[in-house]
Structure formats: structure tokens, C-alpha cells
Amino acid sequence: MKWMRKRMEKWPPLVALLAVNAAQGFAAAFVFIGAILAFDIGGMGHLVFHSPDGWIAGFALTFATGLTFGSVQMGIAVMLLEEREEKDNRPGPRVPLLYRLRLFLRRTFRRWPPRHWRSLAALRNHA
């Protein structure tokens, strides 16, 4: 596999990352479909091995599962990439979102609970 590693050194790093993870996903799909067919889960092994055109079903099942597993593996790899620190060019101070939400709610509901709720609670208690 040295020849492949040498070729991949020339690729952009993100493309190489996606290609490697897609290959890992397809390899996991081959193992998964092999186990399904070997253990005859749901009768799939019997259908694929005893049908005259079973190889088409096996190929379609393996390709679709490989595409799914490869996409999931690439998505996981992308989500686990570390974020680079970039300069924030927005004007103004950086205020955390929860603090801004608390300020918004405090301005919106200056008095909480509203006064009329107290009168409703007093009416319920007297009834």
C-alpha cells in the first residue's frame, strides 16, 4: 500500500481524509453484508446464494450499504475535525448567547409572573 500512500500525499488533505473514510465505510459494509449472508439473517443468504441472479442482489445490497456506511463515516470524520481559530471580524463585544437570551427575557417580562396571575391564584384559593 506504499504506492497508494505516495499518491495520496499529493492530494489535498480534506480529499484524502474523505477518501480514506469512505474506503473504511465500504470495508465495514463488506464485513456487515458478509455477516448477514453468512448467518443467513432474514433468509438473505439463501436468496442470494441459491437464486440464479443472486449476484445482482448481493452487489446491489453491498453497494447500497457501502454507500450508506461510507457516507456516515465521512460525516463523522468531518464533524470531528478541529475548528481553526479565526479572527472574529464582527464589531462590538462578544457576549455569550445565554447571557443575551437572559437579557432579552428580562426586558420582555419585566415583572414575572404578571400581577393578574396573583389575583387569579387568590380567587382559586377562596373558591
Question: Are 29 and 62 a contacting pair, CB within 8 Å?
Answer: yes
Burial tier of 72 (Cβ tally within 10 Å: 0-12, 13-18, 19+): middle
Query: Per residue of the chain (127 residues), what is the pLDDT tens digit?
Result: 677 777 778 888 888 889 999 999 999 999 999 999 999 999 999 999 999 999 999 999 999 999 999 999 999 988 888 766 666 566 556 667 777 777 777 777 666 556 666 665 566 666 5
CB 66 within 8 A of CB 25: yes
Q: What are phi and psi of 21, to 5 degrees?
A: -70, -35
pLDDT of residue 7: 78
**pLDDT for the residue numbered 14:** 87
Amino acid at 64: A
N-terminal to C-terminal alpha carbon distance within the chain: 83
Contact between 19 and 9 under an 8 Å Cβ cutoff? The reply is no
Residue 105 CB neighbours (<10 A): 10
The count of other CB atoms within 10 Å of the CB of residue 86 is 6
